[in-house]
């Protein structure tokens, strides 16, 4: 009840509402906020946040709402982008694409309706992600900080993970994967869909050579468990030139001995 009240009326500072889960799609808010915090600590004035798989557009609109609150809270500009074919899920023959659950053509975008709602707050890059992701360069002043993956299929997610091979990114990129967990009717498991795409990405020779990795985030200590916690991942680029730069804001951390 309290969450509902805080979410509806936006009562209290954004970081407090976010930690309480009293915002729409808190998993989106967490990724954008943490990426913006990291950027601020490293001296960046802007970041890029991307939704892979726009579908109806509710997620992209939600990102824009989070963006506006985070920009006021932290002073870091957030460039919001969406990637989508626009025509729904493609037809494939790869069994790892969970075709038994995702019919081709599902989740087509109503472009006119969505573009009118976005009103320039975000941009959508239309086309097959296998082509648009390699072509995307991004803004050198706004490194990639967060990616929200919701492309459903193994093949599409594999192509989308190409974003994490770009040079212009933060040392740690916050990620959300919509379909690494599901319901009995989904029958999600290792070896298919997003989970297999992540496994193959980590197993690639390029990742092994650089010691970079994408893994579930272990960041929810002391918080009541939420289902979406299992869907938050972090990409660590250990080879990033700023990977070891301090983001704590302190010259050193120290614990004092308790008085007697």
Residue of 3 and 85 predicted with greater confidence: 85
Any idea of the CA torsion for 219, 223, 225, 226, to the nearest 10 degrees?
-80
Query: Could you give the strand order of the β-sheet that contains 232-236, starting from the edge strand earlier in sequence?
Result: 123-126, 77-84, 46-52, 144-149, 169-177, 232-236, 213-216
Under a CB-based contact definition with an 8 Å cutoff, are residues 60 and 82 in contact?
Answer: yes
Domains of the chain with CATH codes? 25-236 (3.40.50.150)
**CB-neighbour burial class of residue 260 (10 A; exposed 0-12, middle 13-18, buried 19+):** exposed
Question: What pLDDT does 251 receive?
Answer: 67
User: If you write DSSP's letter for every residue of 60-120 in order, what string do you get?
Assistant: HHHHHHHHHHHHHHH--EEEEEEEE-SS-SPP---GGG-TTTS-TTTT---HHHHHHHHTT
What does the pLDDT look like over 125-142, one tens digit per residue?
999 999 999 999 988 899
Confidence of residue 17 (pLDDT cuts 50, 70, 90): very high
What does the pLDDT look like over 192-235, one tens digit per residue?
999 999 999 999 988 777 779 999 999 999 989 999 999 999 99
Q: CB-side exposure of 77: number of CA atoms within 13 Å?
A: 10
């Amino acid at each position: 009840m309290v969450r509902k009240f805080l979410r509806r009326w936006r009562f209290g500072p954004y970081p407090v509402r976010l930690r309480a889960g009293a915002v729409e799609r808190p998993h989106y808010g967490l990724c954008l906020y943490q990426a913006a915090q990291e950027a601020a600590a490293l001296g960046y004035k802007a970041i890029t946040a991307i939704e892979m798989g726009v579908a109806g557009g509710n997620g992209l609109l939600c990102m824009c709402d989070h963006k506006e609150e985070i920009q006021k809270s932290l002073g870091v500009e957030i460039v919001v982008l969406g990637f989508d074919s626009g025509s729904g899920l493609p037809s494939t023959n790869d069994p790892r694409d969970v075709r038994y659950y995702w019919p081709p053509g599902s989740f087509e975008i109503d472009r006119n309706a969505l573009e009118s709602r976005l009103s320039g707050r975000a941009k959508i890059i239309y086309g097959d992600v296998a082509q648009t992701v390699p072509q995307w360069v991004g803004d050198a002043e706004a490194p990639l900080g967060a990616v929200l993956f919701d492309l459903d299929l193994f093949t599409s997610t594999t192509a989308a993970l190409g974003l994490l091979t770009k040079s212009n990114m933060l040392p740690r990129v916050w990620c959300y994967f919509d379909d690494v967990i599901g319901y009995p009717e989904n029958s999600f498991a290792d070896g298919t869909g997003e989970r297999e795409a992540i496994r193959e990405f980590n197993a690639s020779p390029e990742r092994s050579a650089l010691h970079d990795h994408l893994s579930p985030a272990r960041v929810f200590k002391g918080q009541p468990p939420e289902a979406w916690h299992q869907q938050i991942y972090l990409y660590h680029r250990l080879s990033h030139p700023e990977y070891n730069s301090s983001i704590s804001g302190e010259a050193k951390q120290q614990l004092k001995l308790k008085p007697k």
